[in-house]
Structure 1
């Protein structure tokens, strides 16, 4: 399992409105595409350098495809990265102020200290 790769996915998708929409509409396609094209590129590097070994575990891939922020948190993804991305994807579906954020927090209420390690 790579918390780095999970967080890199959340970070890079959140910063591109087109990727956010692709992730919302067809998460399996986006996760598969991102893993095959972006996972091994170096973050914030434009020189064409890349690694060759990074990939999601089946559990990580399925949690990403399912938009399951609770499982992602349990695996060590950073909660602020999931929150900002999922706000971009799902806040528009809610009508009340902070409705999505409250639901996000309530879904994580079952966790108690110590929280899963989010260090990468």
Structure 2
């Protein structure tokens, strides 16, 4: 399991509107593409340097594909990264102000302290 890789995925996808839309509409394809092309590049590095060993576990991949922010949190993804990305993807589906954010919080309410470790 790599909390770093989960957070890197959430961070990089959230910063590109095209990737946000792809993640919303075709999550399996985007996760597969991202893992094979972006996962092993260095974050914020503009050279051809890359690693070769980073991969999602089956559990991480399934949580990403299912847009399961609760499972991602359990696996160590930072909740602010999932919240900002998921707001970009799903807030438009709601009619009331902060409706998505309240639903996100309600789905996370079952977590009690100590919370899962989100340190990378």
State the Cα deviation string for residues 11-66 of structure 1 (Å, max 9, x = none). 00000000000000000000000000000000000011000000000000000000
The answer to whether 1:81 aligns with 2:95 is no
RMSD, aligned α-carbons: 0.2
Post-superposition offset of 1:118: 0.3
Q: Which runs of 4+ in 1 moved over 4 A?
A: none
Q: How many residues get paired?
A: 120
2:14 aligned partner? 14
Could you tell me which runs of 5 or more consecutive residues in structure 2 were left unpaired when the two chains were aligned: none
1:60 aligned partner? 60
Taking structure 1 as the reference length, the TM-score comes to: 1.00
Taking structure 2 as the reference length, the TM-score comes to: 1.00
2:115 aligned partner? 115
Alpha-carbon separation, structure 2, partners of 1:95 and 1:49: 45
Could you tell me which runs of 5 or more consecutive residues in structure 1 were left unpaired when the two chains were aligned: none
